[in-house]
Amino acid sequence: MQSTFARRGIAVAPHSLAAQSALAVLREGGNALEAMIAAAATIAVVYPHMNAIGGDGFWVISGPGGVPGGIDASGASARAATRDWYARQGIGPQIPAGSVKGSEAGRSATIPFRGGLAALTVAGTVSGWGAAQTLSQQALGGRLPLSRLLEDAVFLAGEGAPVTLSQQALTDAKKAEIAGAPGFAETFLVNGAAPVRGALFRQPRLAHTLSRIAREGTETFYRGALARQLAAELAAVGSPLALADLKAHHARLVDPLALSAHQSALFNMVPPSQGVVSLMILGLMARMGARSAWMTPGADALAGPEGAAFIHAQVEATKLAFRVRDAHVTDPAFMKLDARELLSPERLDALADQFDPARAAPWGRRTDPGDTIWMGVIDSQGVAVSFIQSIYHEFGSGVVLPESGVNWQNRGASFSLDPTHINTLEPGKKPFHTLNPALARLDDGRLVVYGTMGGDGQPQTQATIFSRMRHFGDTPQQAIARPRWLLGRTWGKASDSLKLESRFDPAVVAQLRAWGHEVETIGAWDEAVGHAGMLIRHPNGVLEGGYDPRSDGAVAGF
């Protein structure tokens, strides 16, 4: 499979219409930030099972002169969302006397994943669009109005977007679980069934809301007339969110985390994102290279970009990094260690010393699923954006607000109700995020943006495609299209085994089992391993990109 080349601008997305929205803005003289706003709005409409304007977003940016930056557009929990509040709803390990609703046997120990009680965090993604537009205007001379950037999204929501096979399959798989959530059935089902591939899927209420945002600006979502409407709608479906929570929210400009490894400067998002995990995995793999054959070129079962040594080293690095993540990473206001400390050479050296090149470490934990989209854009000036937008599970909470048509996320359902847990629920706290967009500057002058969807699969796939490109010389398209793997669960997969696509050589599977891995074979081109993408700006200005054939995506450039 060949990569796509361009000279003046390039975009990649897991849905071709989103990539085309970005390209149209670039052709009109827009910059990478403006192009990404357009792509983000479009994909929120055309890939509704994966993301929505009722979700969160993160941006990692290479600005003028290569200066890195970032936008944290994730929302915090409602001020009313306390452990006691959930206990009074009959949810949680401790319920005050006299406040139980229903029988003790019927209560849940965890926050529900669907319905109004799951919609407990502010949706931050629209604030990220606003912050990106402000940056575009102030730093890049951006001139395109928000009405132009949301134009495609408004049209596709109102006039209809073609249903993808992914949307049809996920709707069919999840409809029984989510059908009872307020507004889900009338929005996402047709006569009680999933819409079929190729049919036009219309969201007129969402079209009206997007038009309103285009006219009034992104602030209306949090501090304007739309915010007042959203607060009333949220209250009506049983969410603890209130107008004060929306008013308190602002996207944050942040400095991304950085790590020097693999002859590259690697960048990723700060907590509550797990960007530190993606960097840790690459840092550990660099150290493991001296004790493992994973960097060795070749085509046998051990060596090369599809070899057992590469898979084993990365899986073991993932286990080590996840252990650190689960002990330390949460809302940075609640962390005892700064994330940068977790990336210190001393800590990474000590972790790498635990690596056994011929034996799998114990696993057996439950990992987190997640439905997400990743997209990338590079413009003619070399400004690059790595972007991710999500509603957590398929269709988020399943709640679609009755007037605005906004599908609200359930990211807050990942909070623990155990007061001793690092991610325990607190009012105004941000939940831990699997979302993490990646960017790298290589010492040979290449600039790379890359990423994927897929919950805990994100750091794994990032390490896979980056390493294939950096160490084995793969083009972006080769790195993405080769068979991939996943340790643990992601959307659509419930087991915690090491999953390998069936295109791997049986000898690779046999070697991994011999080293002690619990291996499961999945489909040849399985969406469970994520929808990845990668763009490169070469030193001579040539732009190159690859998209994931497991998705409905495309690379668009000119």
Catalytic (active site) residue 372: yes
Confidence check: pLDDT of 385 > 90: yes
Query: What residue ranges define each of the domains in the chain, with the CATH number in brackets?
Result: 11-56+71-79+115-253+373-414 (no CATH), 259-370+436-557 (3.60.20.40)
pLDDT at 348: 97
Q: Of 77-86, 449-458, 499-508, where does mean pLDDT reach its minimum?
A: 449-458
Cβ contact 282:259 at 8 Å: yes
Confidence check: pLDDT of 95 > 80: no
pTM: 0.95
pLDDT at 363: 84
**b/e for 311-335, b at 16 or more Cβ within 10 A?**
bbbbbbbbbbbbebbbebbbbeeeb
Tokens linked to 96 = 């005050």
Cβ contact 277:269 at 8 Å: no
pLDDT band at 496 (very low <50, low <70, confident <90, very high): confident
Confidence check: pLDDT of 364 > 70: no
Distance CA 304, CA 298 (A): 5
Confidence check: pLDDT of 175 > 50: yes
- Name the more confident of 455 and 353: 353
Best CA proximity match to 395, nearest among 369, 374, 425: 369
Q: Which helix (H) or strand (E) holds 392?
A: strand 384-392
Tokens linked to 258 = 């950085």
Q: Taking the CB of residue 97, how many other CB atoms lie within 10 A of it?
A: 5
**Residue from 171, 372, 434, 490 carrying the catalytic annotation:** 372
Q: What percent of the chain clears pLDDT 90, i.e. is strictly above it?
A: 89
Distance CA 447, CA 457 (A): 23
| Chain CA centroid to CA 384, Å | 18
Residues 6 or more apart whose CB falls under 8 angstroms from that of 232 comprise: none
Tokens linked to 516 = 């002690």
Residues 6 or more apart whose CB falls under 8 angstroms from that of 98 comprise: none
Confidence check: pLDDT of 516 > 70: yes
pLDDT band at 293 (very low <50, low <70, confident <90, very high): confident
pLDDT at 310: 96
pLDDT at 98: 47
* Sheet-wide strand order for 533-537: 4-6, 543-547, 533-537, 447-451, 438-442, 264-268, 257-261
Distance CA 419, CA 445 (A): 48
